[in-house]
Structure 1
Amino acid sequence: MQKLTFILLFTIVFFSAKATLLAQAKNSKPNIIIVFTDDQGYQDVGVFGAPSINTPNLDKMAENGIKFTDFYSASSVCSPSRAALLTGSYPNRVGVPQVLWSNLSGGLSNEETTIANMLKKQNYATACIGKWHLGDKQEYLPTSQGFDMYYGIPFSNDMSVNPKSKIAKNIVFREGMTLDSLRDNKWRAGRVPLLQQDEVIEYPVDQSRITQRYTEQALNFIKQNKNEHFFLYLAHSMPHIPLYASANFKGKSKRGLYGDAVEEIDWSVGEILKTLMEEGIDENTLVIFTSDNGPWTSRGVNGGSALPLRGQKNETFEGGFRVPMIAQWNGEIKPASVSDKVISTIDVLPTVAYLTGADLPEYKIDGKNVWPILSGKQNKKSPHKKEGFFYYKDFNLEAVRQGDWKLRIIKDDVALYNLKDDISEQINLASTYPKKVKKLKKLMLDFDEELQKNKRNQKHLRSK
């Protein structure tokens, strides 16, 4: 009897301990949410100095987490910046050096390992909601790139539908459009489709409600997968032009329609953070907020602000590449942290791999695990301080940052800036520090030579 009791107690203890360890192992892997906006400038968040745009939810997120003053997208335009984020590599390495237009061949090769591919192997549920812009042919859509679910506009919201798109049986046509007009191959700027999985479900989509609808889909995904691990990539179509905001936000911002669009995105972030708390998973979820590239300042009132930085999207000045970034993970990221360490979107994939125990791709990537910096708990050096951070425009490497120094070379125009003393890139020190120019130029040449030798999937470049 005593022996039987002992065996029973041992069995109970053993399986209880095993269940506890399994629960701990499960909880040790965080959910991942990336909120990626479109053309939102460095200054266009309250905690980054926005003078007339209210972003209380993002400001609160910074209070609860960490704000980065020197965070970089790996491109100053849409498609390359997204390729870099999802693959952990400079866009030129993975065959997406330029913007991909709708209805053109080309896209991010599905031979690449995206964050979604990587986390699927860890049994994560994966969703892409919003702007994709990495190819709108079937083979390039999110459902072919590791995502279980896709809901969104497959490219920039100023483009036109691909007439070869797959059409849902219950498609909703608006604004007098028909199946014939969808198929007629006429360019209708701003009349873009809404896709669910790989089918067009609405054409043209009602963009005034697009941020709201993306948010509804995101909250549903979170609630449906709250008891599992999940990866949510929420890529807003705003505040890229044409600008839209729903009735609850239109006309409310002091910054006009651009501000309305940003304030609605801020609301969206607030809804996500509130839902995480209500579902009891905020302490097991890493949330990252950033922008794909700098603002379209040449659009005037319809563009954002990169102040005090110089430049805009499609340029290799700081205003094109340096973007706002805030991260929150309650209990894991030190609250109210601020970091000036140079990190980039290319660092997201390897950092997520570290946090989830996922395997990195077998081929070379450019990003590094920056969790010691991201957590705000350790004053680690940037992994790019010695190696440098590189600024590509289209097929050309135009600039490098190493520490506080930045060298920018366009043909015969050579400019050297000390970003610590001259954040606005106004004082060219090239003639004062010729040795520094020589050193950084060699760093650029050596890196570009390596990348050109080891770049992948160039057959997937779009037609010119």
Structure 2
Amino acid sequence: MYLAYQSVHAPMQVPRKYLDMYPLVQNEKRRSLLGMVTALDDGIAKVVGVLKENRLWENTLLIFSSDNGAPVIWKHQGSNWPLLGMKQQLFEGGTRAVGFIHGNILAKTGYTYNGLVNIVDWYPTLVNIAGGKITDPEIDGINVWPALSTGSPSPRKEMVYNIIPEWGVAAMRIGNFKLIKGKGPNEACWIPPPEAEGMLGNPSCISQKKDDVYLFHIKDDPSERNNLALKMPDIVKQLRKRLEEKSAKAVPAFQKSERTKKSLPENFGGVWSHGWC
């Protein structure tokens, strides 16, 4: 079963009972966000409850996954601290997401996995778990189940964060080195959650230009504060070459030029539907 929650996402709307759970949070949009996360938790709890009632839980593998970082530009609704950047940017704050797995078929449990995994890996991984096989040699994903299940090293050694020709920006990682070229949308900043400003420091940003090149060692510098591009030109050249090879095979993205009114909540009992975003 695939279940895509509309929380946590704009529009920032949540029932009053969830807002009231966070009376000490002064930032209104931040309070709404926290309430939406709690509403999401309650929704997942209901799903788990039904699985248990129907004696399906013991035979269920639950995978909870996010897709991108928070859009912190909207008055601190979310926070990617201590990572740099936000949603739609290729810095770690916009691309590094958390998740968890629960199920009896895990060989190792109760640990944090820090190996490299891309969201495209879920497809071949789930097909493998279900007993199927993928024969397409051009597929982007890798079966990472042996690594996730046992805590062993990831078979993924490189990944493309994104290639966006219309923005002139792209990012590639090989091993622990990550290359970003070009300037993404909005200013890239390190922004603490509003309730921690002053304690963790104040927001700070980097000045981006369209011809910028960034090289980071992600294992040692996950917050991307030390640009190594000028110090390691050979590594930059290696990642540039690989990124060019990937760009040559990239399939252009299909994006509608505008949202459709067919998705308005008034047509679906008050629910935002496909086509809005």
Matched, 1:240 2:240: no
Q: Deviations over 1:188-212 (max 9, x none)?
A: xxxxxxxxxxxxxxxxxxxxxxxxx
Give the superposition deviation at 1:278.
2.9
The offset of 1:416, in angstroms, is: 0.7
- How many Å separate the matches in 2 of 1:334 and 1:280? 23
1:329-375 deviations in Å (ceiling 9; x for gaps): 13435221211101011001101110112343647220010101221
Q: Deviations over 1:256-281 (max 9, x none)?
A: 11100011111112222233233222
Distance in structure 2 (CA, Å) of the matches to 1:327 and 1:306: 22
> After superposition, where does 1:87-98 map in structure 2 within 5 Å?
none
Distance 2:8 2:128 in 1: 32
Q: 1:345 & 1:352 partners in 2: Cα distance?
A: 12
CA distance in 1, matches of 2:151, 2:82: 28
Q: Which protein is bigger by CA-based radius of gyration?
A: 1
**Partners of 1:425 and 1:304 in 2: CA distance:** 19
Give me the TM-score of the superposition, normalised by structure 1: 0.45
Sequence identity percentage: 33
Is 1:420 the counterpart of 2:219 in the alignment?
Answer: yes
Q: Trace 1:373-384 onto structure 2 (pairs within 5 A).
A: 373-375=147-149, 377-380=150-153, 382-384=154-156
Find the counterpart in structure 2 of residue 404 from structure 1: 176
Q: Does 1:263 align with 2:38?
A: yes
1:354 aligns with 2:128: yes
Task: Pick the aligned partner of 1:343 from 79, 95, 117.
Answer: 117
Q: Does 1:436 align with 2:218?
A: no
- More helix, by proportion: 1
CA contact (8 A) 1:239 1:262 kept: yes
Residue pairs, 1:301-320, within 5 angstroms = 301=76, 303-320=77-94
Pairwise CA distance, 1:296 = 0.7
Cα deviations by residue, 1:431-461 (Å, 9 ceiling, x for unpaired): 1111111111111111212x24xx38x7x55
With over 3 angstroms needed to count, the CA separation of the structure-2 counterparts of 1:408 and 1:324, relative to structure 1, is same
Q: Is the 8 A contact 2:62 2:102 kept in 1?
A: yes
Note the C-alpha offset of 1:393: 5.0
Taking structure 1 as reference, are residues 404 and 268 closer, same or farther at Cα in structure 2, changes over 3 Å only? same
Q: Structure 2: 5+ residue runs without aligned partners?
A: 183-209, 259-277
Q: Structure 1 counterpart of 2:3, which letter?
A: L
Q: 1:393 to 1:248 in 2, by over 3 A?
A: farther
Question: 1:260, 1:312 → 2: CA distance?
Answer: 21
Partner of 1:329: 103
Residue identity matched to 1:399: A
Matched, 1:249 2:42: no
Q: Which residue of 2 aligns with 1:368?
A: 142
Deviations 1:135-193 (A, max 9, x none): xxxxxxxxxxxxxxxxxxxxxxxxxxxxxxxxxxxxxxxxxxxxxxxxxxxxxxxxxxx
Aligned length: 223
1:258-315 CA distances to partner (integer Å, 9 max, x unpaired)? 10001111111222223323322222111111222111100124x2111121100110
State the secondary structure of the residue aligned to 1:339. Answer: coil
Q: How does 1:39-438 map to 2 (within 5 A)?
A: 232-253=1-22, 254=25, 255-301=30-76, 303-360=77-134, 362=136, 364-375=138-149, 377-380=150-153, 382-385=154-157, 388-395=158-165, 398-410=170-182, 411-438=210-237
1:377-428 alpha-carbon deviations (Å, 9 max, x no partner): 1413x2321xx11121534551111121111111421111111121111111
SS at match of 1:420: coil
* 1:315–1:393 contact (8 Å) kept in structure 2: no
What's the secondary structure of 1:300's corresponding residue?
coil
Report if aligned partners of 1:282, 1:330 keep a CA contact under 8 Å in 2.
Answer: no
CA contact (8 A) 1:400 1:407 kept: yes
Secondary structure in structure 1 of the residue aligned to 2:215: strand
Report the 3-state secondary structure (helix = DSSP H, G, I; strand = E; otherwise coil) of the residue aligned with 2:112: strand
Contact map agreement 1:293 1:323 (CA 8 A) in 2: yes
Q: Tell me, what secondary structure is at the counterpart of 1:443? A: helix
Which amino acid counterpart does residue 152 of structure 2 have in structure 1? N
CA distance in 2, matches of 1:413, 1:273: 47
For 2:68 and 2:34, locate their aligned partners in 1 and report how far apart those are by CA, in whole Å: 17
Q: 1:275 to 1:287 in 2, by over 3 A?
A: same
Q: Residues 393 and 295 of structure 1: is their aligned pair in 2 closer, same or farther, counting only changes over 3 Å?
A: farther
**TM-score where L is the length of structure 2:** 0.74
Q: Which has the higher contact order (CA 8 A, sep 6+)?
A: 1
- Over the aligned positions, Cα root-mean-square deviation in angstroms equals 2.2
Give the Cα–Cα distance (whole angstroms) in 2 for the partners of residues 325 and 406 of structure 1: 22
The amino acid across from 2:4 in the alignment is: A
